[in-house]
Chains A and B, each alone.
Chain A
Amino acid sequence: MKKLNYILGIIFSVFISVIALQSCTTSKAVITGKSGAQLWGENCVRCHNSPSPVDFTDEEWKTIGLHMQVRANLTKEETEKIIEFLSSAN
């Protein structure tokens, strides 16, 4: 039980520091500076081959975007930019 508390403690502090770090981040510049197409090229090949814009309709892209944001822990900004790109180029 002691061990469990210890582990819970570690996990909790990691979680809190992660959230704290997030709220401190000021540098959005990296994402803002990249186009949706570039973010698509960098991120959507990490796990599987990258689908091309014409593979799905706008509504489908929205659903897939949400699915991938959750599954791949993508950031909200990059997901939005990628989906915007995919829906504009299909």
Chain B
Amino acid sequence: MKTKLILIAFFISGINLLQAQDSTQAQIQSIKDEIAIIKKPVQTHFMLRGFTQFGFDASDENINFNMTSFNPVLLWRHGDRFLIEAELEMEYMSNQFEINLGYANASYIVTKGLVVRAGKFLIPFGTFGERFHPSWVNKFASQPLGFGHDGIAPSGDLGIEVRGGFQLGSSKLNYSLYAVNGPRIKDGTEEPEEAGMLMFKNETENNNNKAIGTRIGILPLSNSSLEIGLSAYYAAPGSSHSPFEGDPLNEDLNYENVTAMLTAVDLSYVKIISPLMGIIDIKGQYSLSNISNAVYYNPEDTSRYTFTNESSAYYVQMAYRPALAENQILKNFEIAGRYSAYTTPVGSLWADNKSQITVGLNYWLSWRTVIKANYQINESSMSGGHGMSTMTGGNGSMFQLHIAAGF
């Protein structure tokens, strides 16, 4: 009897114990839940960053203080797949202030190796425009000939893109494929001396043809130090109407069938070389623009003319920074050299053959704040001419002292 009672008591207290355990477990769980809610990663995140560059340029003719860039960049992330990026480009050069929308787009990571992007984005035609143009990335105070906004290739445009990167054995491959509004051809009605040029700043579309393009990049070495890229870009830049409509003399001139094919190769090699106590950085790009032949009108002598509409621009640069040096000051110095050349079509009214040598000494105050001292020698086969200055590559030499900072 006694044992029975003890057993029952045992049983009851056992149940009680279990219940007590249950309730503490429930409590622990609810505390855990609460902590999880508090610790839950923020779904959205906003960042305002950007970069600026200013300084002075001294040539044989003049000394100018310039602000070559003040570019606020806005980043907004939702979750871990959705990103909006936007950039304003402000420039104050030769007493002129300009403001442009560099880019404004939304990207969504669909799956590994596939990102979809829409809006205004930097065009991955080669690498300079998309990767190396920000002033704190560019090792020089100036941009290579033909690679700025008035260059032969697009910088930013409105459209849609798929892109991504993935591992391929011990190499890596990346791609980008896009359709954008595309350029317009200058027919000479506004600026006769620029007839036949492509105008990439084309906010109001003049036709239904979009431009399409692609870049494939390969990083063959397993340490990712080398990347080689191939790009192509195709556009039909003419409008279906003759720009001379209503002018009986030239009404037959039409640019509807003009096509433009642009191609580029790019290369980048960045490697820490221990025996040299530093980083070697080599970059380059060669861009070629082929526009089909068309007949243009020269209002100055009322003549008609045509030419092989082919332009090219390239640059190669090399930099060395003794980043592994023990000396705290020495390790922040960097020496850099660049050669660039830009050839525009013979027979056009903007025919030219420019080349430029730039040597630079940089001092890095932080990972993205740098003082750049450049000496640049320009040569041009066309002296004077439209838009020629030492900045864009007339004849003569120039000294530049700039400070560039990312913030």
Residues on A facing B (Cβ under 8 Å): 3-4, 7-8, 11, 14-15, 18-19, 21-22, 25, 27-28, 30-31, 41-43, 45-52, 55, 59-60, 62-64, 66-67, 69-77
B170 on the A face (CB < 8 A): yes
Q: List 25 interface pairs A-B (beta carbons < 8 Å), by A numbering.
A: A3-B259, A3-B261, A4-B259, A7-B212, A18-B175, A25-B167, A30-B167, A30-B170, A43-B224, A45-B270, A47-B131, A47-B132, A47-B268, A51-B368, A59-B41, A63-B77, A64-B75, A67-B75, A67-B83, A70-B83, A70-B115, A72-B131, A75-B165, A76-B112, A77-B167
Q: Is the CB of A4 within 8 A of B45?
A: no
Q: Is the CB of A46 within 8 A of B216?
A: no
Least Cβ–Cβ distance between B178 and chain A, in angstroms: 10
Q: Which residues of chain A have C-beta atoms less than 8 A from B177's C-beta?
A: 11, 15
Distance of A22 Cα from B169 Cα, bound (Å): 10
With contact pairs A3-B259, A22-B113 given, residues A46 and B227 touching in the complex (Cβ less than 8 Å)? yes
Q: Which residues of chain B have C-beta atoms less than 8 A from A46's C-beta?
A: 224-225, 227, 268, 270
Q: Which residues of chain B have C-beta atoms less than 8 A from A59's C-beta?
A: 41-42, 45
With contact pairs A18-B175, A48-B136, A51-B367 given, residues A69 and B225 touching in the complex (Cβ less than 8 Å)? no
Tally B residues with Cβ within 8 Å of A.
58
B300 on the A face (CB < 8 A): no
With contact pairs A4-B236, A63-B83 given, residues A14 and B216 touching in the complex (Cβ less than 8 Å)? yes
Distance of A64 Cα from B46 Cα, bound (Å): 11
B232 on the A face (CB < 8 A): yes
Q: Which residues of chain B have C-beta atoms less than 8 A from A67's C-beta?
A: 75, 83, 85
Q: Is the CB of A73 within 8 A of B217?
A: yes
Closest residue of chain A to B112 (Cβ to Cβ) is: A76
B155 on the A face (CB < 8 A): no
Q: Which residues of chain B have C-beta atoms less than 8 A from A25's C-beta?
A: 166-169
Interface residues as binary, B186-224 with A (CB distance below 8 Å gives 1, 0 otherwise): 000000000000000000000000001010110000111
Distance of A4 Cα from B68 Cα, bound (Å): 38
Distance of A77 Cα from B168 Cα, bound (Å): 13
Q: Which residues of chain A have C-beta atoms less than 8 A from B130's C-beta?
A: 71
Q: Is the CB of A21 within 8 A of B173?
A: yes
Closest residue of chain B to A63 (Cβ to Cβ) is: B77
Residues on B facing A (Cβ under 8 Å): 41-42, 45, 47, 75, 77, 80-81, 83, 85, 107, 109, 112-115, 117, 130-132, 136-137, 162-170, 172-177, 212, 214, 216-217, 222-225, 227, 232, 234, 236, 259, 261, 268, 270, 272, 279, 364, 367-368
Distance of A70 Cα from B116 Cα, bound (Å): 9
Distance of A40 Cα from B214 Cα, bound (Å): 27
Distance of A8 Cα from B83 Cα, bound (Å): 29
A76's contact among B109, B217, B232, B268, by CB below 8 Å, is which?
B109
Distance of A67 Cα from B162 Cα, bound (Å): 15
Q: Is the CB of B364 within 8 A of A28?
A: no
Q: Is the CB of A63 within 8 A of B75?
A: yes
Least Cβ–Cβ distance between B331 and chain A, in angstroms: 12
Closest residue of chain A to B234 (Cβ to Cβ) is: A7
B234's contact among A4, A76, A77, by CB below 8 Å, is which?
A4
Distance of A55 Cα from B42 Cα, bound (Å): 20
Q: Which residues of chain A have C-beta atoms less than 8 A from B234's C-beta?
A: 3-4, 7
Q: Which residues of chain B have C-beta atoms less than 8 A from A75's C-beta?
A: 112-113, 165-167, 172
Q: Which residues of chain B have C-beta atoms less than 8 A from A74's C-beta?
A: 165
With contact pairs A4-B236, A22-B166, A27-B167 given, residues A62 and B80 touching in the complex (Cβ less than 8 Å)? yes
Closest residue of chain A to B230 (Cβ to Cβ) is: A14
Distance of A14 Cα from B227 Cα, bound (Å): 18
A73's contact among B47, B176, B225, B270, by CB below 8 Å, is which?
B176
Q: Which residues of chain B have C-beta atoms less than 8 A from A76's C-beta?
A: 109, 112-113
Q: Is the CB of B212 within 8 A of A8?
A: yes
Distance of A48 Cα from B176 Cα, bound (Å): 21
Q: Which residues of chain B have C-beta atoms less than 8 A from A48's C-beta?
A: 136-137, 367-368
Distance of A67 Cα from B113 Cα, bound (Å): 14
Least Cβ–Cβ distance between B383 and chain A, in angstroms: 37
